[in-house]
Structure 1
């Protein structure tokens, strides 16, 4: 029963993995007793190949000597997942290696010549699809140690290897184009700040820094994917990518919190509760980025991979909720202030601005966390790049709207109003108070 629950949960989690981290990898398995180990998930074309090399293999068992034919590697497609689950549920002692729905590669019986413990072979993928590479151990009470080198690729028309999955081979160009868009955006922002020097505040400089980091993050992402595509290894670009991603995410959440509190352009200092939000969000983002690096660099073969995914998801949800509170506090404060300071129109305009910003932030978080995830899950493996494009389009739109709403201008439409607008605003506020 424990085996059935483990495999069922494992395969369900496997079905939710949205994309792969494909490249040439060398992994070490040490005394692992899991019945199934997931290594890679890759989208193959009709010219796909998978190469697996194992060495330093040793198997220990608490019961009878392990059967080498009950330990081996296989490929499993998304479509075959439910059938394999059904077979396991119907027969608790069923070995996945015997399933007709799996693509058999080799077992430890093929390790030759005995008693050598190494194997190296490449297999063509005849049917285009998205497959996951698994190792199965159907020997009860046994553990395996080995070094595994995996290599998955598709051949282009000129015979060159493409190490990115079929649905991600467009990503280097996609990320590069968006980096250019952000550099153009940065140029316009610098021009706007220079044109309105008297209206520039510290928050505007911080926003400029956010654009620089976002553009650099996309360039590193493009280079990372490019080198993986042509060589199977990121050549160090993944380190820069994770560095700028960490700075970018922390800076983005910080800017949203500071803009939401009105810091710098409405008030020079943060209140204690607003400082506490930053003290919560920033350390949590550090933890989230650590989890992201573990997820991206190790892959699903490690035992704690699912746990790190859960940590990342939980921390991201907490941070998304936390950054909403300062905006709500600003809306509440402006509503209260508008009743007492005699500047109804100005406060109503500010109130309208922060309400709009609140809606924009909620929409951005919903789209990038829910809609993008749904696209990754439901999109055909050949179109995985669409979810990346949707996420970058949504991010660019959010940046443009936020920067436009809080741009440096001498006569801000929200903060400079005439007497007629003042009278109209007083009536609107009285009507709003009456409705409440």
Structure 2
């Protein structure tokens, strides 16, 4: 596999889950792309529908040649069939051309010759059960195709994707309709965890350090993040738009993500728990992580506020994935540094057992961090990719439960306790024998 392909695979594995309005607007200006993804895959039920409104259409072609609007339009396809698009374009087969659709991979909704000549606008509403034979639900993507060579197109499009459930329209796709309940449940669990941790810190008294109070703030922001997600998805379900809850999500996510990496780095360096200072090397690491998190949060806002139809949307998606990769790698370095420093100290200060017992904690913490990153970035991605669209909510639930488990395990490992009483500082019997021999040897 080529290095570029490996990089793209790595980026995909670290893709975060973002909420976006299902009633979306996009503006395309002088765009020469042959294929534009207008709306990401959406899970439709038996009564799934879509509404498309196109305005301000303009086709530009060099010279005096008049463009053919019949070669421009919208079509839908399944995510599995998207792989054929690149091949068909390379072979000069237009997805809008029925003769090019050999295997019924694409369904043309309408072409631009349907636009009103006077006002250059068109509105179409589609009921998928009427378009597709024996349609019982499925996941579909909406694309725009420009098969007119050497041309650019300008237009504004408004898209509404929804399912009719009973007497109301539900703008959440099948598979995501469980997310409001999941995130609200996680809010209750994280809030309970925050209360228990706060009580433990208060009870710890002089054995509670600054890092413990910082962890309280982290859990609080995590609780507010999942709460804002719950209300955001609930509002999208009713109105098709986040109605301001996305702003709260941006703020709490920014604070939570920044605090998360900072707390992990500080725990890994033993700050406030084993030493009251931060070394210059650790300060430089923090100065790298903080700007990276700022960039990641800008990317989240951009991806959430714009549709894939925007030319720079995929660029910001790659930036977000790359930042996530870098931050996840950086947090492992301080743990390795701490382990190395403790091993070096055991060989020089003569306190072999007292120093090396701390390695048990940091070795376990290292394993915990690696497992957490592996599960939430790779396993969750595999779940999102392999689960049927009806059960995609299981990936979000697994990610949140893994985060809760990681928070609990980290809290237990670094909870306020009198010196020498922490069970995670104790050695196994085999390690104790080896260390005893090391002390006895001259």
Q: TM-score, normalised by structure 1?
A: 0.90
Give the Å deviation of 1:426: 6.5
Q: Does 1:169 align with 2:177?
A: yes
Which consecutive residues of structure 2, in runs of 5 or more, have no partner in the other structure? 1-7, 130-134
Give how far 1:20 is off: 7.3
Alpha carbons of structure 1 residues 18 and 216: separation in structure 2 relative to 1, 3 Å: closer
Q: Work out whether residues 152 and 163 of structure 1, in 8 Å CA contact, stay in contact via their aligned partners in 2.
A: yes
C-alpha separation in 2, matches of 1:329 and 1:34: 48
Offset at 1:324? 0.8
- Per the TM alignment, residue 56 of structure 1 is displaced from its structure 2 partner at its CA by 1.2
Q: Whole-Å Cα distance in 1 between the matches of residues 344 and 210 of structure 2?
A: 26
SS in structure 2 at match of 1:264: coil
After superposition, residues 45-194 of structure 1 pair within 5 angstroms as: 45-63=45-63, 64-89=65-90, 91-92=91-92, 94-98=93-97, 99=101, 100-112=104-116, 114-126=117-129, 127=135, 128-156=137-165, 158-194=166-202
Distance in 2 of aligned mates of 1:280 and 1:82: 38
Cα offset for 1:361?
Answer: 0.5
**Deviation for aligned residue 1:17:** 10
Deviation string 1:353-392 (CA, Å, 9 cap, x unpaired) is: 0010011001111111111111111221111111111110
Q: Unaligned regions of 5+ residues in structure 1, if any?
A: 1-8
Give a deviation string over 1:65-91, Cα, whole Å, max 9, x none: 1111111111111232344444334x3
Question: For the residues of structure 2 that align with 1:69 and 1:224, how far apart are their CA atoms?
Answer: 39
2:5 is matched with which residue?
Answer: none
CA distance in 2, matches of 1:331, 1:299: 45
Shift, 1:337, TM fit: 1.3
| Residue 26 in structure 1 maps to residue 29 in structure 2 | no
Deviations 1:165-222 (A, max 9, x none): 1111110110000010011001111111121112110000000000000000010011
CA contact (8 A) 1:348 1:425 kept: no
Q: Residues 119-152 of structure 1, C-alpha deviation per residue, up to 9 Å, x if partnerless?
A: 1111011221111111111111111111111000
Residue 22 of structure 1: how far off its partner (Å)? 4.4
Is the alpha carbon distance of 1:375 and 1:267 closer, same or farther for their aligned partners in structure 2, counting shifts above 3 Å?
same
- TM-score (structure 2 length as normaliser): 0.88
**Are 2:360 and 2:424, in contact at CA under 8 Å, matched by a contact in 1?**
no
Counterpart position of 1:405: 413
CA contact under 8 A between 2:222 and 2:252: conserved in structure 1?
A: yes
SS of structure 1 residue aligned to 2:126: strand
How many angstroms does 1:263 deviate by? 0.2
Distance 1:75 1:149 in 2: 16
The 1:411–1:269 alpha-carbon spacing in structure 2 relative to 1, beyond 3 Å, is closer
SS in 1 for 2:52: strand
Which residue is 1:4 aligned to?
none
2:375 is aligned to 367
Checking the alignment, whether the CA contact within 8 Å between 1:61 and 1:141 is kept in structure 2 is yes
Q: What's the CA shift for 1:343?
A: 2.9
Q: Write the distance in 2 (CA, Å) between the matches of 1:247 and 1:145.
A: 38
Deviations 1:218-256 (Å, cap 9, x if unpaired)? 100111111001111111000110111011011000000
Mapped pair 1:40 → 2:43: no
Query: What displacement does 1:23 show?
Result: 1.6
CA distance in 2, matches of 1:247, 1:20: 18
SS of corresponding position for 2:262: helix
Question: Which secondary structure state, in structure 2, belongs to the residue aligned with residue 169 of structure 1?
Answer: coil
The aligned runs of 1:1-16 (5 Å cut-off) are none
Query: Structure 1 residue 293: deviation in Å?
Result: 1.8
Instruction: Single out whichever of 212-221 and 24-33 deviates more from structure 2.
Output: 24-33
Classify 1:267/1:341 alpha carbon distance in 2 versus 1 (closer, same or farther; 3 Å). Answer: same
2: CA distance, partners of 1:326 / 1:17: 24
C-alpha contact (below 8 Å) 1:284/1:319 kept by paired residues:
yes
Secondary structure, aligned partner of 1:259: helix
Given the superposition, is the C-alpha separation of residues 424 and 394 from structure 1 closer, same or farther in structure 2, using an over 3 Å criterion? closer
Distance in 2 between the 1:244 and 1:416 partners?
A: 32
Change in Cα spacing, 1:257 to 1:201, as seen in structure 2 (3 Å) is same
Partner of 1:5 in structure 2?
Answer: none
Q: 1:346, 1:422 within 8 Å by CA — same for their partners in 2?
A: no
The answer on 1:318 being equivalent to 2:322 is: no
Equivalent residue for 1:3? none
* Alpha-carbon separation, structure 1, partners of 2:435 and 2:408: 30
1:96 match: secondary structure: coil
Seen in structure 2, the aligned counterparts of structure 1 residues 267 and 387 have a Cα distance that, compared at 3 Å, is: same
Rounded Cα–Cα distance in structure 2 between residues aligned with 1:132 and 1:230: 21
CA gap 1:45/1:432 in 2 versus in 1, 3 angstroms: farther
Give the distance between the partners of 1:288 and 1:246, measured in 2 at CA.
Answer: 8
- Do the aligned residues in 1 keep the contact of 2:361 with 2:425 (CA within 8 Å)? no
